[in-house]
Amino acid sequence: MIHIVDVTEENVEAKGFFCMRSKPKSQGYQNKLAWLKKRLREGLKLKILEENGVPKGFIEYAPSERNWRGITGSGYLVIHCLWIVGRGKGKGYGSRLLNLCLDDAKSHNKSGVAMVTSSQTWLADKSFFMQYGFESIDQAPPSFELIVKRLNRDDPVPHFNHGWEERMSQYQDGITIIKADQCPYFEDAVNTITEAANEREIQVNIITMQDPIEAQNAPSAYGVFNVIYNGQLVTYHPLTKREFIKKLDKLEKQQQQQRQEQ
């Protein structure tokens, strides 16, 4: 039996929010829980799909005015995450959750639904959404695309809040991590990066965003996780320690070469 759970401030303690549900006492889980309670009051929606009582996937979305991605616009719903796991894939569960979001947009007379996608990792690929009438309307480095499903083609569409390099250039000293608690996996990612940086004797500064406007004006289109080294983006998603050091080494070589050419 398939059941859709509408997560609310009243039932979130019991139902959770799908991610890291096996570690409810972890700091990352508790950070997300506190973040989610505040966002639910602001109009964020979280729906979990259960199969015979077992969570198989979820969708999280928010009004565009209060979204936590690097985009700006009004009158839309913005999907933060749509995730189906394991044996739940291939059963139409993603379509079911996406249609719930589209129906919600229609019932509230929204202009449409938007989502940030990526051809690399951590974010969904756009191909699934194109089947439902989404179209690509904007791009951002390194591999982000903003896709929208228009419900009223006369209304303006949201767009990326460009100016990434200018915003990154403010963070020149060592490693700066600018993150929100929207994802419970970020806490472990911060610890991994900090450990690697300490081994290299690189200064680390951590900034936690408290408001969606901060995420909309983040140094990357993903919004909620930005790791910057000497003014350049290292990653927008969690990495293993080995992966992070490899990216850091590559960026250091590039920066050294740029200094030599100047």
Record: fold of 2-160: Aminopeptidase (3.40.630)
Please check whether the domain covering 164-261 is classified as CATH 3.90.1170.50.
no
The per-residue pLDDT for 262 is 67
Packed helices 186-199 and 241-261: angle between N→C axes, nearest 10 degrees: 60
Identify the pLDDT of residue 63. 98
Token pair 């850091």 is found at 248
**How many residues does this entry show for the chain?**
262
CB 89 within 8 A of CB 53: no
- Is the torsion defined by CA of 149, 124, 207, 14 positive or negative? positive
Query: What pLDDT does 126 receive?
Result: 94
Name the maximum alpha-carbon separation found in the chain: 64
Token pair belonging to 118: 């990526």
The string of DSSP codes covering the chain is -EEEEEE-TTTHHHH--STTTT-TTSHHHHHHHHHHHHHHHTT-EEEEEEETTEEEEEEEEEEGGG-SSSEE-SSEEEEEEEEE-GGGTTTTHHHHHHHHHHHHHHHTT-SEEEEEEESSSSS--THHHHTTT-EEEEEETTTEEEEEEES-TTSPPPEE---HHHHHTT--SSEEEEE-SSSTTHHHHHHHHHHHHHHTT--EEEEE--SHHHHHTSSSTT-SEEEEETTEEEESS---HHHHHHHHHHHHHHHHHHHHH-
Write the pLDDT tens digit of every residue in 91-102. 999 999 999 999
Span(s) in the chain for CATH 3.40.30.10: 164-261
Its pTM stands at: 0.95
Using an 8 Å Cβ cutoff, are 112 and 150 in contact?
yes
- The pLDDT assigned to 150 comes to 98
**Torsion-angle region of 76 (φ positive above 0: left; ψ -120 to 50: alpha; else: beta):** beta
What is the Cα–Cα distance from 27 to 184, expressed in whole angstroms?
8
pLDDT tens digits along 2-44:
999 999 999 999 999 999 988 999 999 999 999 999 999 999 9
Q: What are the start and end residues of each CATH 3.40.630.30 domain in the chain?
A: 2-160
Q: How far apart are CA 147 and CA 140, in angstroms?
A: 12
In order along its 262 residues, the chain shows pLDDT tens digits of 999 999 999 999 999 999 998 899 999 999 999 999 999 999 999 999 999 999 999 999 999 999 999 999 999 999 999 999 988 789 999 999 999 999 999 999 999 999 999 988 889 989 999 999 999 999 999 999 999 999 999 999 999 999 999 999 999 989 999 999 999 999 999 999 999 999 999 999 999 999 999 999 999 999 999 999 999 999 999 999 999 999 999 988 888 887 777 6
C-alpha count within 13 angstroms, C-beta hemisphere, residue 83? 14
Provide the pLDDT for residue 254.
86
Among 241, 212, 258, CA closest to 66: 212
